[in-house]
């Protein structure tokens, strides 16, 4: 019989919750239901109240702001996490991405240099930065698991995804190199590539509804994806059942990635 609380005693940090429809929240809820104790970060005053309310609902010991473009802020966050969890960390969920709205319209070719690097910094380098900060906390507990969120737009050109696709390609490569570096300390790094999920971030992508209908029409399973599907896959990668899985991208898109047309 499967363990009803597979994350009992585990401590995790969740980056990227915006509201209760967030993929990061679906993952957090799954982990908390499985016994994990979780800390949360938020970006900006606008969503602080949402994140605190959700975190309080599962008894989180820490909710703190984090600017992932600042190494000093990341260092502060992980110092607070270390204090909350006795200097140890088992799980890290990275669900952070950003590109300027105007760069998700028109031509990728017209992306200005400063906004190109901003998208890569927030969406990809942030994984490197937080993984580096998590390393000593995870090493102290004998290892850990890191999961990030990616998308097929990093492998293929998707209309209106533009610079975010380039950022996701960078994220995908970073997962592999982080896995290679951190494996010696029993720290696993994986990604989940989800199909279209109706989240706050999805609303900024022009033609999102069209993307959703195309995936449902052409995917082998002919059905939509929701945040709970992504949470289940992420929970597997974060669990001890996946102890020999690292450097991997797990697709949760009803099989759409396997199709040529």
Distance in angstroms (rounded) separating the CA atoms of residues 161 and 153? 7
* 161 is a catalytic site residue: yes
First to last CA, the chain: 40
Strand order in the sheet with 91-94: 62-65, 37-42, 11-15, 91-94, 144-150, 187-194, 249-252
Tell me phi and psi for residue 175, to 5 degrees.
-55, -45
Instruction: Write the DSSP symbol of residue 4.
Output: S
Residue 161 tokens, joined: 């995804």
Helix axes 23-33, 227-238, angle to 10 degrees: 50
Q: Select which of 42, 125, 151, 256 is catalytic.
A: 151
Cβ atoms of residues 44 and 37 within 8 Å: no
Q: Select which of 42, 125, 161, 256 is catalytic.
A: 161
Instruction: Write the DSSP symbol of residue 69.
Output: T
Distance in angstroms (rounded) separating the CA atoms of residues 188 and 78? 18
Tell me phi and psi for residue 35, to 5 degrees.
105, -5
* 251 is a catalytic site residue: no
Active site residues: 151, 161
């Amino acid at each position: 019989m499967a363990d009803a609380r597979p994350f009992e005693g585990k401590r995790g940090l969740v980056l990227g919750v915006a509201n209760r429809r967030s993929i990061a929240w679906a993952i957090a809820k799954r982990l908390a239901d499985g016994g994990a104790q979780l800390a949360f970060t938020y970006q900006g005053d606008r969503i602080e109240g949402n994140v605190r309310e959700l975190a309080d609902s599962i008894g989180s010991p820490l909710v703190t702001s984090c600017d992932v473009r600042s190494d000093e802020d990341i260092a502060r966050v992980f110092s607070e996490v270390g204090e909350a969890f006795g200097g140890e960390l088992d799980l890290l969920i990275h669900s952070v991405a950003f590109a300027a709205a105007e760069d998700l319209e028109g031509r990728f070719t017209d992306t200005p240099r400063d906004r190109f690097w901003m998208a890569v910094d927030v969406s990809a380098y942030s994984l490197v930065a937080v993984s580096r900060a998590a390393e000593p906390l995870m090493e102290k507990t004998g290892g850990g698991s890191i999961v990030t969120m990616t998308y097929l737009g990093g492998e293929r050109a998707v209309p209106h995804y533009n610079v975010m696709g380039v950022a996701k390609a960078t994220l995908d490569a970073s997962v592999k190199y982080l896995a290679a570096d951190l494996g010696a300390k029993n720290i696993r790094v994986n990604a989940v590539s989800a199909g279209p999920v109706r989240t706050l971030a999805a609303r900024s992508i022009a033609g999102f509804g069209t993307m959703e209908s195309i995936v449902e029409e052409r995917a082998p399973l002919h059905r939509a994806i929701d945040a709970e599907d992504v949470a289940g896959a992420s929970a597997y990668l974060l669990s001890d059942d996946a102890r020999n899985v690292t450097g991997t991208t797990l697709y949760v898109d009803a099989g759409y990635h396997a199709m040529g047309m």
